[in-house]
Amino acid sequence: MSQTGPKLRAELGDIPTYKPGRPAPVRDGMPAYKISSNENPFPPLPSVQTVIADAGSQANRYPDMFATALVARIASRFGVPESHVATGTGSVGVCQQIVQSTAGPGDEVVYAWRSFEAYPIIVQISGATAVRVPLTADERHDLDAMADALTDRTRLVFVCNPNNPTSTAVRRDELERFLDRVPIDVLVVLDEAYREFVRDPDVPDGLQLYRDRPNVCVLRTFSKAYGLAGLRVGFGVAHEPVADALRKTAVPFGVSGIAQAAAMASLDYEEELLDRVQVLVKERTRVATALTDQGWPLPHSEANFVWLRLGERTDMFASACENAGVVVRGFSGEGCRVSIGEAEANDIFLQVAAEFAPAG
């Protein structure tokens, strides 16, 4: 066929499109809630909103390209050297920087599946080959199988902990055993977007594990626990050659001054924000208990969402939720991921779940 426009890279042809959580439908007389994107249902604290508004008065200026003040703040908060911290436009931005830094055509990137839907997109854009390792029957990373999947072409492995969308977390023993099996020249990314929601003491903190491992990079974000999803700021922590590469591959001035200021303010008011996280964790327990009582075989959630393996009933369930006034995230033929939101939203979801319960 003759060319009718600019030639685009072949890799883009069959790229899956990132499917954002649908916005809540507007309907009169009935509340509608969005519990489809793992967002924090609490708006930014008034104190943080003031910082955001103030930072807006500087919007005619470019931001600090390397987010120097924020990096210093993150380094002191988490007890890591400043040279180990690199920021990005959300941790999705940092994921992209990581793939660009490590993998291209001919290289392999290993990740569990199903996991975070940004991984396949970012890997495919890079031209590298994705190697997907199925989750275990109980919806967890199969770290042994992931280690078995490494070849001499592997450059990068993602471990999403807790895993989006199945909510399960890997434990310290199994993760350390896995890391011991990964060659030193393969980078392992511990994507800890939901770290603040973890309560199981056996789920390791990546920031402990990375210290004596130069091939481990930890990803954190201000989007979930800190409630700044709309401002796009996240960061990676890794030893110097890796952190340097993440700075080189960052979009110049990608993290806005408003986002930098808001992230710093979130660390200033962290205690108050983590109290809110605790409210959501309690709500998670309430929701999980109710679902278990309804007869659902629920994977144990360490995140701010739960996972229902609905199989063929997924689309039906998602529509029923929407008709009842809550939007959830369905993965057709597999299951629904439902964020822990406002109590009223969770109640509506639980009512629908009761109707679909396997035991009922």
Ligand X SMILES: *Cc1c(COP(=O)(O)O)cnc(C)c1O
C-alpha distances in Å from residue 93, one per residue of 168, 221, 298, 357 = 23, 10, 31, 38
Q: Using CB under 6 A, which of the segments 45-53, 90-98, 253-261, 333-341 binds ligand X? A: 90-98
Closer residue to ligand X (CB): 102 or 325:
102
341 lines the binding site for ligand X (CB under 6 A): no
Examine residue 221 and tell whether it contacts ligand X (CB under 6 A): yes
Q: Does 90 bind ligand X (CB under 6 A)?
A: yes
Q: How many CA atoms lie within 13 A of 190 on its CB side?
A: 28
Q: How far apart are CA 239 and CA 358, in angstroms?
A: 48
- Select 223 or 260, whichever has its Cβ closest to ligand X: 223
In the complex, the smallest distance separating the C-beta of residue 28 from ligand X, rounded to whole angstroms, is 32
Contact between 160 and ligand X per CB under 6 A: yes
Where on the phi/psi map is residue 89: left (φ > 0), alpha (ψ -120 to 50), or beta? beta
The binding track of 164-203 with respect to ligand X, each residue x by CB under 6 A or -, is x--------------------------x-x----------
The least distance separating ligand X from the CB of residue 193, rounded to whole angstroms, comes to 4
How does strand 335-339 pair with strand 305-308? antiparallel
Nearest CA to 305 out of 338, 345, 352, 278 is that of 338
Q: What kind and span of H or E run contains 160?
A: strand 154-160
At its nearest, how many Å lie between ligand X and the CB of residue 78? 16
> Any alpha helices (H) in the chain, and if so which ranges?
46-56, 68-78, 90-102, 118-126, 143-148, 172-181, 206-209, 240-248, 257-268, 270-294, 314-324, 343-356
From the list 89-97, 106-114, 134-142, 339-347, the region that binds ligand X by CB under 6 A is: 89-97
Q: Report angle CA 193, 194, 195 to the nearest 5 degrees.
A: 100
Nearest to 38 by CA among 296, 285, 304: 304
Span interacting with ligand X, options 23-31, 87-95, 172-180, 312-320, rule CB under 6 A: 87-95
Among 85, 92, 216, 255, binds ligand X (CB under 6 A): 92
Tell whether residue 91 is a contact of ligand X (CB under 6 A).
yes
Binding mask 36-75 for ligand X (x = CB under 6 A): --x-------------------------------------
Q: Which one, 215 or 221, has the nearer CB to ligand X? A: 221
- The residue type found at 196 is E
Q: How many CB atoms lie within 10 A of CB 248?
A: 11
Residue count, binding to ligand X (CB under 6 A): 14
Nearer to ligand X, 164 or 266 (CB): 164
Cβ nearer to ligand X, comparing 164 with 256: 164
Least gap, CB of 99 to ligand X (angstroms) = 13
Residues that bind ligand X (CB under 6 A): 38, 90-92, 116, 160, 164, 191, 193, 221, 223-224, 229, 234
